[in-house]
């Protein structure tokens, strides 16, 4: 395995790795057709095995406090993407990639990393095993078909809502008992060694 910086030539392999990895999570329909670019600097690494992208991590980081992260003080980095291709899962590749990314983050004088993930218990367990702590959450709610009629309506004549995605920051899910797809989105934070 070789961990190295992402290059534009990696885009197709990066997208394939991310799509296939996300298919096994609550983010299964979060498909990208091109790799994101960031407003602020980013640590963008890949793990390559036999010429294939086996894992990836993208961390956009702050050069001014409060511009990227939503929790904590000082300069932080937001993990926007971390994924391991299913052919290479459970081999420690994602953990090795995160550890390497943390070294880069510390060299940039970041004091913490932040990551948001949905309610996949195995993903949450991995973050906790890697030293992250849950600090905040809200809900992603998907409305489809009849669920929409109970919660949303169009104010535009002849416009029918067929599906909708919403953020819910409340704690009482009783009003959404009829909604099949709702996910808790949890913020995890890890304090880096140079924060002390």
List the chain residues with pLDDT less than 70.
194-196
DSSP 20: H
pLDDT attached to residue 195? 57
**Does 62 share its domain with 102?**
yes
> The domain spanning residue 77 has which CATH number?
3.40.630.30
Task: With respect to residue 25, please indicate whether it lies within any of the assigned structural domains.
Answer: yes
Q: What is the mean pLDDT of the chain?
A: 95
Domain that holds residue 38: 2-134
Mark whether 22 and 59 lie in a shared domain. yes
Residue 61 CA to residue 45 CA, distance in Å, equals 14
Q: Does a structural domain hold residue 36?
A: yes
The vertex-192 CA angle with 42 and 39, nearest 5°, equals 20
Per the CB < 8 A criterion, the answer to whether 80 and 44 are in contact is no
Question: Residue 163 pairs with which residues in a beta bridge?
Answer: 144
pLDDT for position 71: 78
Task: Give how many domains the chain has, as a whole number.
Answer: 2
Q: What is the pLDDT of residues 67-109, one digit of tens each?
A: 999 878 899 999 999 999 999 999 999 999 999 999 999 999 9
Residue 104 lies in a domain: yes
Domain-located, residue 190: no
Distances (CA, A) of 64 to 38, 40, 80: 15, 10, 18
Determine, yes or no, domain membership for 43. Answer: yes
| Element housing 46 (H / E) | strand 42-49
For 117, phi then psi, to 5°, come to -145, 160
Domain-embedded: residue 195: no
Q: Please tell me whether residues 114 and 144 are part of one structural domain.
A: no
| Residue 147 · residue 110 · CB < 8 Å | no
Report if residue 188 sits inside a domain: no
């Amino acid at each position: 395995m070789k961990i190295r910086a992402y290059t534009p030539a990696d885009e197709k392999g990066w997208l394939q790795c991310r799509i296939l990895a996300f298919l096994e999570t609550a983010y299964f329909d979060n498909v990208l057709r091109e790799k994101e670019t960031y407003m602020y600097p980013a640590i963008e690494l890949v793990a390559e095995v036999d010429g294939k992208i086996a894992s990836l991590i993208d961390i956009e980081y702050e050069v001014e406090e409060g511009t990227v992260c939503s929790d904590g003080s000082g300069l932080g980095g937001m993990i926007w993407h971390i994924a391991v291709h299913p052919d290479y899962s459970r081999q420690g590749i994602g953990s090795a990639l995160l550890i390497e990314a943390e070294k880069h983050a510390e060299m940039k004088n970041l004091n913490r990393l932040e990551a948001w993930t949905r309610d996949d218990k195995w993903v949450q367990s991995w973050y906790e095993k890697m030293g992250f702590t849950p600090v905040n959450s809200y809900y992603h709610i998907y409305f489809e078909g009849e669920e929409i009629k109970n919660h949303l309506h169009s104010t535009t004549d002849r416009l029918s809502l067929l599906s909708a995605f919403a953020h819910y920051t409340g704690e009482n899910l009783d009003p959404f008992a009829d909604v099949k797809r709702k996910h808790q989105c949890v913020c995890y934070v890890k304090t880096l060694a140079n924060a002390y």
